[in-house]
Structure 1
Amino acid sequence: MALSLSYARQALCAAAVFGCTALTAMVPLSASAAPVAKQQTQVPGYYRMALGDFEVTALYDGYIDLDNKLLKGASAEDIQALMAKMFVDSSNGVQTAVNAYLINTGSNLLLIDTGAAQCFGPTLGVVQSNLKASGYSLEQVDSVLLTHLHPDHSCGLLTADGKAAYPNATVYVPQAEADYWLSDEVAGQAPEARRGMFSMSQQAVAPYEAQQRLKRYSPDSHLFAGLSVVPSNGHTPGHSSYLLSSKDQSLLVWGDIVHSHAVQFAKPEVVIEFDSDNAKALATRKKLFADAARDKLWVAGAHMPFPGIGHVRTEGSAYAWVPVEFGPIRSDR
């Protein structure tokens, strides 16, 4: 009798399950149900990693679409083939990130580059909001180090109303960079189409210079413990990278050494129209690629796909980019 009851219960359960399934299958979704609205916003643009005792926060400023025609040193067919190999859609310009990097050394809160603010349109200008989203405030930044003075790196020094965005920060600029971009004489001799770049750069640093918080430094300067200046000119006259070291780890924040990851690692000889000295830019890129691959450095690039952090490895006579893997901050490695 107990066995029969058991079978009966199983039969009832089965009937209930299959009956409901069948009933569900026969009931169509309501044709009048309202569609679920898509959520178009992305997550805040910051990424955090540990570098020894330092904390590194990558900050996304947005993107700009760059035309392949800006790349020089390879045929259009070769450039397009390299883009396609990396599944990069270049039909309407290549989506190119603008990144900045916030470094907490424990003693200082350093910001390397500041993004474009409103200098290049609405797709850029969110470093400040992403810095806040990451858990810090603009007032906590005590030092801003610029790799160079192009507006997509310096305009973010200002708020929307033209005031200093980092009220407690000293801004550090390579001397050769300041001598070029902050010179009225050089600006006056530049082609008219480029004078706007000079104006934007000069306006970006003006509030800091007025408050004596703009510091020009030489290539051999020792600015902060655990940070070395790596002269890397060519893209601009005073372009500089920053090597951060803590314990047994190092990160090279190299600014604008690469604008197209799909092309320039495979063909380092490819330069971009924005380079002020093509030969120097090419020599600098080859040297930093070799150094980064040999020393297994972490690298952070202003125009690499966000977060722009990874490693460089050799690939035959060329190089390849190995991006960082997303993960938690861990203390066991």
Structure 2
Amino acid sequence: MNESAGSPEFSRRGFVGAALAGMAALGAAPQARANDAAAPAFRDPYVYRFKIGSLEAFSISDCNLGFREGLGLMWPEEARPKMKEEMERHGERLDTLPLYVNVLVIRSGNEVAVFDAGFGKVNNPQMGWLFDGLAAVGIAPEQVTAGFLSHAHADHLNGFVRDGKPAFPNAQIYLLEDELSFWRGENPDFSKSKRDKNQIPGMIKEVRGHFDTLQEKLRPVKPGTEVLGGMVRVEGAPGHTDGHACFRIRSGDEELLHLMDLAHHHLLMFADPDWTIAFDHDPVTAVVTRKKYWTEAAEKRIRCYAFHLPWPGLGHIMADSGKYRWWAERWAWG
């Protein structure tokens, strides 16, 4: 995906004392501050605990990265001046687009489910935090019983494999049949995508290798399939990839709609849903899918969770003069 490391977007260094006091509640592991070896170990919080009905849920940040291509990744090209205006109006930096990777984890009794698994363990300290986050909240990889894969891009798939083996040895991994078929097909079609075509052969090889490793764990399903006793519904949301999925999680009267990669930025895909990112396999279909979900979420006031929006990724989609806005949920502890 051409990820480039960026600087932390939301530094809270001025609140070290309060943050340290809240570490236990957050489940965040500390990290020593650079340039101050004598200082107490500290790391900005990256695990957020919340509830979905009776379900215990966690949002775990997997990375701190940014796309240095900035608006060069956004399409259509002729709309970039309007995108720039929208970014400037909200005080957003233009030299990079932030890459948030929020991994949703839910726990109900002995069931533990992970929704996409981030980048996995790599040498870059700015990425691959999921397993530290799981450990911080007392979840061992062996305790994960279900994995849900929205699509097979590296920041979603790679964390399901570790040291050449399934990272969660006791988990079945659910994905849509169309996603598996796309990558297993003889010639996966990227003709409509704006992404760097030089990356594609290596990407296909990596995905197929991971699918080989996970073969015994994969559980391809059709759109609309409900698993874990109806707790999770797997929905087809094509465009970003052929078999891209969203997930609807229910507990009692409460519902959480996991948007996955329907949005890669908290302003751009809402101010105008017709704006797309280079990584979409089929931008036209991605727009149709996005509008469908934005309309439903706004009209029904559905609580949403987003993989690539500012951590912890919880919020609502609001209609705004024919367009939409992402309204982040207020943080709450306790």
Q: Give me the TM-score of the superposition, normalised by structure 1.
A: 0.81
Q: Is it true that 1:79 corresponds to 2:73 in the alignment?
A: no
Deviation at 1:121, TM superposition (A): 4.9
Find the aligned partners of 1:235 and 1:300 in 2 and give their Cα distance.
Answer: 17
1:202 maps to: 208
Deviation at 1:171, TM superposition (A): 1.2
Contact between 2:190 and 2:281, CA under 8 Å: does it hold in 1?
Answer: no
Q: 1:192 to 1:48 in 2, by over 3 A?
A: same
Q: Is it true that 1:252 corresponds to 2:254 in the alignment?
A: no
Find the aligned partners of 1:98 and 1:306 in 2 and give their Cα distance.
Answer: 8
Deviation at 1:189, TM superposition (A): 8.9
The one-letter code of the counterpart of 1:109 is: V
More displaced 10-residue stretch of structure 1: 66-75 or 137-146: 66-75
1:163 maps to: 165
Find the aligned partners of 1:128 and 1:238 in 2 and give their Cα distance.
Answer: 26
2:147 maps to: 144
Contact between 1:182 and 1:201, CA under 8 Å: does it hold in 2?
Answer: no
Deviation at 1:208, TM superposition (A): 2.3
**Cα offsets for 1:89-108 (capped at 9, x unmatched):** 122x1222011110113352
**Cα offsets for 1:6-41 (capped at 9, x unmatched):** xxxxxxxxxxxxxxxxxxxxxxxxxxxxx9967785
Deviation at 1:243, TM superposition (A): 0.4
The one-letter code of the counterpart of 2:85 is: A
Q: Any idea what SS the aligned residue of 2:307 has? A: coil
1:242 maps to: 247
Deviation at 1:143, TM superposition (A): 0.7
Find the aligned partners of 2:151 and 2:278 in 1 and give their Cα distance.
Answer: 16
Find the aligned partners of 1:88 and 1:127 in 2 and give their Cα distance.
Answer: 27
Find the aligned partners of 2:256 and 2:266 in 1 and give their Cα distance.
Answer: 18
Contact between 1:169 and 1:213, CA under 8 Å: does it hold in 2?
Answer: yes
Contact between 2:161 and 2:214, CA under 8 Å: does it hold in 1?
Answer: no
Q: Is it true that 1:46 corresponds to 2:47 in the alignment?
A: yes
1:58 maps to: 59
Deviation at 1:172, TM superposition (A): 1.3
Q: Any idea what SS the aligned residue of 1:259 has? A: coil
**CA root-mean-square deviation:** 2.3
2:280 maps to: 275
Find the aligned partners of 1:38 and 1:316 in 2 and give their Cα distance.
Answer: 50
Q: Give me the TM-score of the superposition, normalised by structure 2.
A: 0.81
Match of 2:132 among 126, 129, 146: 129
Deviation at 1:134, TM superposition (A): 2.2
Deviation at 1:135, TM superposition (A): 2.4
**Cα offsets for 1:239-272 (capped at 9, x unmatched):** 0100011122110111100011121111111011
Q: Unaligned regions of 5+ residues in structure 2, if any? A: 1-35, 192-196
Deviation at 1:278, TM superposition (A): 1.0
Larger radius of gyration: 1
Find the aligned partners of 2:113 and 2:280 in 1 and give their Cα distance.
Answer: 26
Contact between 2:270 and 2:324, CA under 8 Å: does it hold in 1?
Answer: yes
1:181 maps to: 183
1:25 maps to: none
Q: 1:145 to 1:71 in 2, by over 3 A?
A: same
The one-letter code of the counterpart of 1:200 is: E
Find the aligned partners of 2:88 and 2:319 in 1 and give their Cα distance.
Answer: 21
The one-letter code of the counterpart of 1:311 is: H
Q: Unaligned regions of 5+ residues in structure 1, if any? A: 1-34
- Give the number of aligned pairs: 290
Contact between 1:147 and 1:254, CA under 8 Å: does it hold in 2?
Answer: no
Q: Any idea what SS the aligned residue of 1:327 has? A: coil
Deviation at 1:122, TM superposition (A): 4.5
Contact between 1:44 and 1:133, CA under 8 Å: does it hold in 2?
Answer: no
